[in-house]
Chains A and B, each alone.
Chain A
Amino acid sequence: MYELTKVSKSYRKGGTLIPALQDVTMRIDDGEFLAVQGPTGHGKTTLLQMLGGLDRPTSGSVVFDGRDLAEMSERELTDVRSRSFGFVFQTFNLIPTLTAQENVETALVPMHPDAGERRGRAMEELEAVGLADRASHFPLELSGGQQQRVAIARALVRQPEVVLADEPTGNLDEAMREEILELLVRLWRDRDRILIVVTHDTAVAARASRRVWLREGRVAAPEGVDSATAPAPA
């Protein structure tokens, strides 16, 4: 469970301080599917970075399971990420020199399992996303949709409490988008995790149990919509 209290993040560019997030206060419950929407450059990715422990806020607190991520050292944040968070990126971010199976295994390296256990768990996860037959292929040999499925397997192989996805369908065509979205939603339901998706895609957002809009770094309502309203999932 997340408790964000007056979270702000600013970046210095030259001599100017640019606010990316301003006084964000929100709560995310266990098992929730949250969609974060808003125009480009209004803080969605920055919010995801705060929630995933990839960066620290300038002010405010990000409490996850009773611990404030903002107060943690770099080492503690790394450990929390390795145990509790899984990431899916818009550009897949697979290691090009490793096979699909080896890419999934990279998520298990910080947990120090032996090579055999690592291989076994990676194969199980690839089977879950329907890519067991592509385990020995390199990313360049896979389609965009297949690469994203490998990335999802990598995000889930550690059984994290939270999966954070930044525009997971942004680089895919129409058919692939639906496929990936279905996969994400299915896995979220089956494993009862927190799923946080940053997206422009209203179709993706419509599948979420709750939506949050960010405008100029603040939680806001979309035009004509009450921000407290949570549309029913499809």
Chain B
Amino acid sequence: MFWTYLVRELRRRRRQAFVVALGLGVGIGLVVTVSSLSSSVGKAQASVLHSLYGVGTDLTVTQQGRPGSGGSARFGFGPPTSAQSGRQFSRDRALPSPGRQSFPASRVRTVARVDGVRQAAGALELTMIHLTGTFSSSAGGGTGPPSFSSGGSGSGSQQRPVNVNTYTIDGVDVSAPEVGPLASASLESGRSFRTDETDAAVAVVDQSYAKQHKLHVGSTLTIGGTTFHVIGVEADSSSSADVYVPLARAQSIGDASGRVNIVYVKAASASDVSRAQAGIEAALPNATVTSSSDLASQVTGSLSSASSLANDLGKWLSVVVLIAAFALASLLTVSAVSRRVREFGTLKALGWRTRRVVRQVMGEAMAQGLLGGLIGIVLGVAGAVAVVQFMPTLTATIGGFGGGGGGGFPTGQSVQSAGPPGFAGRTVAVHLTPSLSIEIVVLAIVLAVAAGLIAGSLGGWRAARLRPAEALRRVD
């Protein structure tokens, strides 16, 4: 009798029941969408941090560079000669990452000995500037200095532009694979470094960089006059560098023998991170020691904005809409009970106990709530997919290095060590994927049940107060 009565009653007022369920569905759907996007953004942030940090890295140690302290990038352009006229040229120059001063690799051992540190590995992060172009000839004979343009070729008056391409290189300690940017890397193809390849001319390239330059396992690429063999392609498109090589090779390219500019640190345990950080800061007063939470707070860019939007505005909006949906469901349930005064009064007159009548009302409200939950999950997933589909690609920028001087390239043929123009911090593109975990589904069901319970309780309270004498009430 309970299920028959319940189903028939909901069918009788199906329009109202659908409105209630839809209202709840919109509210729950918004919560699912926001939770899904929050989760997606969170995963993206973690991925960005992991790509820079590597899983298993708790701290990094760097030394902030002074503007221009990295020296200038000289490309070896001497006074122009007629022999150069019309000839193509190619020059490479490696600079330390902007704002990062190199320091002796012996400091890695200092860090490793600090109390609370389990393992430390040094790395050298470089920015490679690759110039290509053609020497030009002036109208009055002889040659003029090359003119420079950033990116694609431009057109000078009678001077031919120089193409400037930059990419990043990470020289990693291959003998410590558990710490550093490649610790969490998954490879699309090939393999990572072996621990004995400390000085081998081998490289692992980023997926995006490989696609751009048509590289694959077995390809070669020339860096600073040395040919490297590609042994692996990283699957993570938001990795920290374009190319990874053994540390010794990076030191050779960057003319920084025995030096590193970042130390990756793994603490003995999660509770030792603070202690290790304090110990390193004491041992190396001039160093900057950054934890993953410090780094997380430095993440800027549209990914950070999306995170704020989802966590702040999104959550508040979904709470408000949910409250409105709950209120609507409750009001309509109480209203439905009020319209059935004679019906419930009759049942009580027939001997139905109050709790039996209340159970009937609650059952109807729960059914509406669960239907709303189902609609909410569908709408929520569709909403999350739609948002991810149509939103622009997000970016995450880590830090923002002052760098020195450097805006353009003066014709004096030198380049400030601040790096290429406009480069401030490391920016990675992030593609969100909708994330629907079992927790979000459970959340939707809990909200649906809660809605049913609240509406049913209010309706049940109204039904419980009905007197059986209502059954004999005259119709006006």
Residues of A within 8 A of B (CB): 45, 48-49, 52, 54-55, 74-75, 78-79, 81-83, 87, 89-91, 93, 95-98, 102, 105-107, 109-111, 115, 118, 154, 166
Determine the chain B residues whose CB is within 8 A of the CB of A75 once the complex forms. Answer: 353
User: Which residue of the partner chain, among A49, A55, A81, A115, contacts B351 with CB atoms under 8 Å?
Assistant: A81
Q: Is the beta-carbon distance between B352 and A110 smaller than 8 angstroms?
A: yes
Asked whether B475 is an interface residue with its Cβ less than 8 Å from the other chain, the reply is: yes
Mark each residue of chain B from 461 to 476: 1 if its CB lies under 8 Å from any CB of chain A, else 0. Answer: 0000001110110110
Q: Please, which residue of chain B has its CB at the minimum distance from the CB of A84?
A: B351
B338 → chain A closest CB, angstroms:
16
Interfacial chain A residues near B12, Cβ < 8 Å = 96-97
* Cross-chain pairs A/B with CB under 8 angstroms, 25 sampled: A45-B472, A49-B469, A49-B472, A52-B349, A54-B469, A54-B472, A74-B354, A81-B351, A82-B352, A83-B351, A87-B346, A87-B350, A87-B471, A89-B346, A89-B472, A95-B343, A95-B347, A97-B8, A97-B9, A97-B11, A97-B12, A98-B5, A107-B350, A109-B350, A115-B1
- Closest residue of B by beta carbon distance from A40: B474
CB neighbours (8 Å) of B4 from chain A are 98, 102
Given contacts A81-B351, A96-B12, A110-B351, contact A48 B5 (CB under 8 A): no
Q: Is residue B100 contacting chain A, with contact meaning CB distance below 8 A? A: no
Q: Is the CB of A81 within 8 A of B347?
A: no
Contact A109 B472 (CB under 8 A): no
Tell me the B residues contacting A by CB distance below 8 Å. Answer: 1, 4-5, 8-9, 11-12, 342-343, 346-354, 356, 467-469, 471-472, 474-475
Docked Cα-Cα span, A105 to B4, in Å, equals 12
Are B5 and A97 in contact, with the CB atoms below 8 A?
Answer: yes
Task: Return B223 CB to nearest CB of chain A, in Å.
Answer: 80
A105-B1 in contact given A95-B343, A98-B8 (Cβ < 8 Å) = yes
Of the candidates A49, A78, A98, the one whose C-beta lies within 8 Å of that of B348 is A78
Least CB distance from A150 to B in Å reads 13
> Which residues on A sit within 8 Å (CB–CB) of B8?
97-98
Q: Which residues of A contact B346 (CB under 8 A)?
A: 87, 89, 93, 95
Contact A82 B350, CB 8 Å, known A49-B472, A109-B356: yes
* Bound Cα distance A52, B350 (Å): 10
Contact A54:B467 (CB < 8 A) given known A89-B346, A97-B12, A98-B4: yes
For the complex, give the distance between the alpha carbons of A109 and B219 in Å: 81
A81–B349 CA distance with the chains assembled, in angstroms: 7
Given A54-B472, A93-B342, A95-B343, CB of A109 within 8 Å of CB of B1: yes
B125 to chain A, nearest CB (A): 73
Nearest neighbor of A95 in chain B, beta-carbon distance = B343
Shortest CB-to-CB span from A64 to chain B, Å, is: 15
Helix, strand, loop or mixed for chain A's interface? Answer: helix
- The answer to whether B472 and A78 touch across the interface, beta carbons within 8 angstroms, is no
Q: A91 to B353, Cβ gap below 8 A?
A: no
Q: Which residues of A contact B475 (CB under 8 A)?
A: 91
> In the bound complex, what is the Cα–Cα distance between A101 and B435 (angstroms)?
51
In the complex, the 4 A-B pairs of residues with the closest C-beta atoms, listed nearest first: A82-B351, A97-B8, A110-B351, A93-B346
A54-B469, A55-B469, A87-B471 given as contacts; is B350 within 8 A of A110 (CB)? yes
Known: A91-B475, A97-B9, A97-B12. A81 touches B468 (CB 8 A): yes
How close is B467's CB to chain A, nearest CB, in angstroms? 7
B475 (CB) vs chain A CBs: closest residue:
A91
Chain B residues whose CB sits within 8 angstroms of the CB of A45 once the complex forms? 472, 474
Chain B residue at minimal CB-CB distance from A158: B351
Q: Could you tell me the distance in whole angstroms from the C-beta of B345 to the nearest C-beta in chain A?
A: 8
Whether A109 lies near B352 (C-beta < 8 A) is yes
Contacts of B342 in A (CB 8 A): 91, 93
Closest to B346 in A: A93
Most buried by A among B354, B467, B468: B468
How far does the alpha carbon of A85 sit from the alpha carbon of B356 in the complex, in Å? Answer: 19
The answer on a CB contact under 8 Å between B472 and A81 is no
Distance to closest chain A CB from B374 (angstroms): 23
When distances are taken between beta carbons in the complex, the residues of chain B under 8 Å from A102 are 1, 4
A54 to B4, CA, bound (A): 27
Task: Report the bound CA distance from A107 to B220 in whole Å.
Answer: 88
Whether the pair B5, A107 counts as a contact (CB closer than 8 A) is: no
Once the chains bind, are A106 and B472 in contact (CB under 8 Å)? no
- Chain A hits for B469, CB < 8 A: 49, 54-55
Does B351 contact A78, Cβ atoms closer than 8 Å? yes
CA distance A106 to B349 in the complex (A): 11
State which of B9, B11, B471 has its C-beta within 8 Å of the C-beta of A54: B471
Cα A123 to Cα B320 in complex, Å, equals: 52
Distance between Cα atoms of A42 and B346 in the complex (Å) = 23
> Would A89 and B471 count as touching, CB distance under 8 A?
yes
> A80's closest neighbor in chain B, by CB?
B351
CB distance from B430 to the nearest CB of A (A): 54
The answer on a CB contact under 8 Å between A54 and B352 is: no
